[in-house]
Amino acid sequence: MNTSGFSYHEVEEGGMFRPEDVMYNHLLFLLDGRMQVSCNNFIRKEVQADECVMLPIGADAKCRALSVCRLVCFSFYNLPADYNGVYMADLCRTVAGMEYTFEAIPLREPLQKFLALLLGYFSEGIDSPELQEVKYQEFFLMLQVFYEQQEVAKLLYPLVGNDPSFRLEVLLHCRKVNRVKELAALLNMESRAFGRQMKEEFGLSPYQWLLKQKAGHIYFSLREEKEKSLEAIWHEHGFRYAGHFSRFCKEQFNVPPLKIRNALWRET
């Protein structure tokens, strides 16, 4: 049985919403209002009422309400077994021609009715692990029935792969390590075998992939965590000296960290 759950939230204009546990995937269904959603290197993407977006496992995320918002958050660990066969293979072929852009998909009428019924249960005080499990299965079935594969692939992109279990374990553990050998050890894999599977699954070497993840988390910190000093950010991400951190940012983003940070003030 999956540890998953739907929950209802109301956020005042200017208020913030951040899912509590980054070790789960979170699907946000915006029922009313507008939100700016930041997720790793995707900063302040606007989500409208009747749209859905996913914050993948391990991501840095922050959601700011641009108006009074009502939303349902669906937190889940992995995809259902039905997604591990022919349907996942079809999604993989679709993803192969896509670039991940962290875009929302529309809430079609059947899904709106699904959410309305769910909120009706909640308002009557009806909630249980059994109900949550049934709704978990039902939601992913609805994606298959009422959405084009292109839309599903766009939404679930970070979770779509030839070996979903391996991909999930990598996403789950990558924030705990600084080196490739450490990540391979957490997955109980020999380094060469781990490198081959990473290349097959993500299209990058383990080192390149970890570097890309690190860059995304740093970019989020520079743009969205204005309460943190530059020194705090570089220490948090494993840099001993300001010069090393500045060089990393120039290599990854083509600009020094202060210029990335200053973009925050121009947009505020």
The lowest-confidence range among 2-11, 66-75, 155-164, 230-239 is 2-11
Residue 176: its pLDDT value, please?
Answer: 87
Q: Is the pLDDT of residue 244 over 80?
A: yes
Q: Is the pLDDT of residue 265 over 50?
A: no
Rounded Cα distance between 169 and 184, Å, is 10
Report all structural domains of the chain as residue ranges with CATH numbers, in order of start.
Answer: 4-159 (2.60.120.10), 164-267 (1.10.10.60)
* Residue range 154-167: mean pLDDT, rounded: 93
Q: State whether residue 55 is helix, strand or coil.
A: strand
Q: Pull the structure tokens for residue 178.
A: 């600084």
More confidently predicted of 1 and 101: 101
More confidently predicted of 162 and 31: 31
pTM: 0.91
* C-alpha angle 233-239-240 in degrees, rounded to nearest 5: 115
Rounded Cα distance between 43 and 39, Å, is 6
Single-letter amino acid code for the residue at 247: R
Q: Pull the structure tokens for residue 31.
A: 């029922």
Instruction: Using DSSP bridges, classify how beta strands 61-65 and 34-39 pair: parallel, antiparallel or unpaired.
Output: antiparallel
Q: What percentage of the chain exceeds 90 in pLDDT?
A: 84
Q: What digits encode the pLDDT tens for the residues 27-41?
A: 999 999 999 999 999
* Residue range 62-66: mean pLDDT, rounded: 97
Rounded Cα distance between 84 and 87, Å, is 7
Query: Which ranges constitute the DSSP H helices of 33-148?
Result: 86-95, 109-123, 129-146
CA distances (Å), 191 to each of 72, 177, 198, in order? Answer: 41, 14, 10
**CA R_g for the chain:** 19
Residue 264: its pLDDT value, please?
Answer: 53
